[in-house]
Amino acid sequence: MSDYNFAYLDEQTKRMIRRAILKGLAIPGYQVPFASREMPMPYGWGTGGVQVSAATLMPEDTLKVIDQGADDTTNAVSIRKFFEKTAGVDTTEETAQASVIQTRHRIPEEDLREDQILVYQVPIPEPLRFLEPSEIETRKMHSLEEYGLMHVKLYEDIAKHGAIATSYAYPVKVEKRYVMDPSPIPKFDNPKMEMAAIQLFGAGREQRIYALPPYCQVVSLDFEDYPFEASKADHACDMCGATNSYLDEVIMDDAGNRMFVCSDTDYCASRRKAGNVGAQAAAASAALKETAA
Amino acid sequence: MYVAVKGGERAIDNAHAWLAEERRGELNVAELSVAQIREQLSLAVNRVMAEGSLYDPDLAALAIKQARGDMIEAIFLIRAYRTTLPRFGSSEPVETAKMACDRRISATFKDAPGGQVLGPTFDYTHRLLDFALAADGEVPEVARGEAREETTPHITEFLNQEGLIQTEVTSEETPGDLTREPLELPANRPLRLQALTRGDEGFVLSMAYSTQRGYARNHAFVGELRIGKVAVEMDVPELGFAIEIGEIELTECETVNQFQGSKTEPPQFTRGYGLVFGQSERKAISMALVDRALRWEELGEDNLGAPAQDEEFVLYHSDNIQATGFLEHIKLPHYVDFQSELELIRKLRREAMENTTPVQEAAE
């Protein structure tokens, strides 16, 4: 094994992080300050998620790491490698096989189970930050449940654009108490947050952890006459034909032709394995072979 | 075609290999040794130790070599290493009054006990490129003097004896540790000083400079600047007394600042304080100015709304490892969020177009 402790962090630090996680689970949506450590990867690249995962992982766990829904994006590869090296745990790309999933910007399409933990990487944990830059002020606003500013912002969006102009990191209210930042997931993923798995949020640079216990109530903020809408590209996946998954838009050629593919690579691959075929699957796999060659 | 193709792992390995090659540079040029960096780029080493919060010249030199001279990257390497080190205790406070000074100057008195000692300073060099250095760096024999036997007293102590300068509140309380507890605001002065001493030199310098240009000006004089070695002592429980475990080089700056006095306080000078690892006097002076600006509330001054007076602003933005990480993370893929923005902007534009009746402009 390596010269480092299991999953890199020393046991005292893990204990400190676990205490913050437990507090977070006990007060869903509340941002718990924790003494974030300097990790061997840069702040802003998932140090919060990595610390939460490190404190959560047990030797028998199976870890999956995704970024933008994909297992093979560079930073997901890098974080997965980090835990392969420092914790020696099994890793997987299959959502169903994983006991801990660390994610950046997506929630897997497949429903998660009670025996799974989803760890989010969070850049700015404070949902009110871009309305009020001062941390002293925003903490006060949370403690007084003073969320008027957020509603005014959403209202102004409607007045100006005719719709709420937030498409990701769409604020939610947890168990009728705390307004919470769901991390920069597309608002398409918001409804999935009421789930069976434990959800843990780690913001390393900002030194905050927050959490959602299983089946916790998570409501996206909206107005009666402008209800929240989980939107996605109005297409089916061109690779696997899925109509219910979040799609990435890919520019195919110089003429600007597009194709739409599932952002969740494992979901797309398993659907294709099961025989589902999208409109451009044949052309796309030919193009893929060409680039690989 | 940019579908997230398999191969991220191979791409990363290849990038690292290329990076290693670039770091080494041209192979027919001799490789730089860590000892050369430590001895000949010692001010870079000092900065890495100061902002890395770890006093170890060899490791700092190694970090500079590994980082190809990128100072923030080197500081980052040291910080990441530092967090893995076990803590086996804390030292006694170092006695800077007992510092063996290599340099000690005061801008407030022409002379004072201990004298003005210029030491190894760039101050009065003419900034002319020395082309002789490009050929060889041999130094001529220099004159040597006897080191001062007695300790060099702090200049501000002389002002203190007269009651002309505000007395610092002494406290036996163990200060908090910025690296072990989450920063919660309002912070106290020890935490502020910790943040400043490991803060980015450029940031602290600019903040200090802004006070000089009128954003919360506090009329600083360099009461004293001293650089030298101090002993580090630690109380070893088995022994029951403190023993010296080593010595470190420090730069200390005390500024003397104007103060008008208030309803309760007669006019007296106030202080700003800077203390930094190694020979880092630009940083130490900057730190003292910013420290002084941040003390506005304690000294009964007005909040002028200046950036250097805003504790939250200064403390949250002084750390270059946090700043650079977050800044550079926008290089990472964000296409999922960008996609949701694309959908939104298309929808908003569609609705806006539908609501606008096309008008034929006369110019057409």
Sequential pLDDT tens for chain A (293 residues): 447 789 999 999 999 999 999 999 999 999 999 999 999 999 999 999 999 999 999 999 999 999 999 998 889 999 999 999 999 999 999 999 999 999 999 999 999 999 999 999 999 999 999 999 999 999 999 999 999 999 999 999 999 988 898 999 999 999 999 999 999 999 999 999 999 999 999 999 999 999 999 999 999 999 999 999 998 889 999 999 999 999 999 998 899 889 999 999 999 999 999 999 999 887 766 665 555 44
The whole-number pLDDT of residue A293 equals: 45
Instruction: Pick from A11, A43, A81, A164 the residue to mutate for testing the B interface (most B CBs within 10 Å).
Output: A43
Q: Which residues of B touch A35 (CB under 8 A)?
A: 179-182
Contact flag A43-B322 (C-beta cutoff 8 Å): yes
Instruction: Pick from B339, B341, B346, B347 the residue to mutate for testing the A interface (most A CBs within 10 Å).
Output: B339
Which residues 235-294 of B have a C-beta within 8 angstroms of A? none
pLDDT band at B1 (very low <50, low <70, confident <90, very high): very low
Contact flag A207-B343 (C-beta cutoff 8 Å): no
Burial B109-124 (b: 16+ CB within 10 A, else e): eeebebeebebeeeee
> For B9-31, what is each residue's pLDDT tens digit?
888 899 999 999 999 999 999 99
Contact flag A135-B316 (C-beta cutoff 8 Å): yes
Cα B78 to Cα A68, B56, B74, distances in angstroms? 31, 9, 6
Instruction: Quote the CA–CA distance of B19 and B8 in Å, as a whole number.
Output: 16
- As a whole number, the mean pLDDT across chain B is 91
Quick count: other Cβ atoms within 10 Å of Cβ A8? 24
The whole-number pLDDT of residue A280 equals: 86
Residue B324 near chain A (CB below 8 Å):
yes
Q: Which residues of A touch B8 (CB under 8 A)?
A: 72-74, 76-77
Question: Which residue on chain B is closest to A239 by alpha carbon?
Answer: B3
Angstroms from A174 CA to nearest CA on chain B:
22
Q: What is residue A160's DSSP assignment? A: H
Secondary structure in 3-state letters for chain B: CCCCCCCHHHHHHHHHHHHHHHHHCCCCCCCCCHHHHHHHCHHHHHHHHHHHCCCCHHHHHHHHHHCCCCHHHHHHHHHHHHCCCCCCCCCCCCCHHHCEEEEEECCCCCCCCCCCECCCCCCCCCCCCCHHHHHCCCCCCCCCCCCCCCCCCCHHHHHHHCCCECCCCCCCCCCCCCCCCCCCCCCCHHHHHHHHHHCCHHHHHHHHHHHHCCCCCCCEEEEEEEEEEEEEEEEECCCCEEEEEEEEEEEEEEEEECCCCCCCCCCCEEEEEEEEECCCHHHHHHHHHHHHHHCCCCCCCCCCCCHHHCHHHHHHHCCHHHHHHHHHHHHCCCHHHHHHHHHHHHHHHHHHHHHCCCCCCCCC
Contact flag A33-B82 (C-beta cutoff 8 Å): no
Angstroms from A79 CA to nearest CA on chain B:
11
The whole-number pLDDT of residue B161 equals: 87
What's the average model confidence in pLDDT over B159-173?
Answer: 87
User: Taking phi first (over 0 means left), then psi (-120 to 50 degrees means alpha), and beta for anything else, what does residue A128 get?
Assistant: alpha
Q: Residue B115: CB partners within 8 Å, gap ≥ 6?
A: B104
At B42, which amino acid appears?
S
Angstroms from A151 CA to nearest CA on chain B:
19
Shortest CA distance to B48 belongs to which of B76, B21, B23? B76
Instruction: Pick from A31, A45, A74, A263 the residue to mutate for testing the B interface (most B CBs within 10 Å).
Output: A74
Percent of chain B with pLDDT over 70: 95
Tokens (6 digits) for A4: 């480092």
Is a pLDDT exceeding 90 seen at residue B356?
Answer: no
CA angle A135, A139, A140 (to 5 degrees): 115
pLDDT band at B78 (very low <50, low <70, confident <90, very high): very high
Q: Which residue bears the tokens 């510092």?
A: B99
Residue B347 near chain A (CB below 8 Å):
yes
Instruction: Quote the CA–CA distance of B271 and B122 in Å, as a whole number.
Output: 26
Is a pLDDT exceeding 90 seen at residue B75?
Answer: yes
Q: Which residues of A touch B5 (CB under 8 A)?
A: 72, 288, 291-292
- Is residue B36 within 8 Å of B282, Cβ to Cβ? no
Nearest CB to B339 within list A10, A233, A291:
A233
The whole-number pLDDT of residue A1 equals: 42
Angstroms from B166 CA to nearest CA on chain A:
29
At B49, which amino acid appears?
M
Nearest CB to B336 within list A34, A69, A208:
A69
Is a pLDDT exceeding 80 seen at residue B2?
Answer: no
Q: How many CB pairs under 8 A join A and B?
A: 158
Which positions of A are annotated as active-site residues? Answer: 29, 237, 240, 262, 268
Is a pLDDT exceeding 80 seen at residue B212?
Answer: yes
At A289, which amino acid appears?
K
> For B83-100, what is each residue's pLDDT tens digit?
888 888 889 999 999 999
Name residue B256's beta-bridge partners. Answer: B221, B271
Is a pLDDT exceeding 50 seen at residue B364?
Answer: no
Is a pLDDT exceeding 70 seen at residue B360?
Answer: no
Quick count: other Cβ atoms within 10 Å of Cβ B172? 4
What's chain B's length in residues?
A: 364
What number is the ipTM of this complex? 0.87
Q: Which residue bears the tokens 């390596």?
A: A2
Q: Which residues of B touch A67 (CB under 8 A)?
A: 332-333
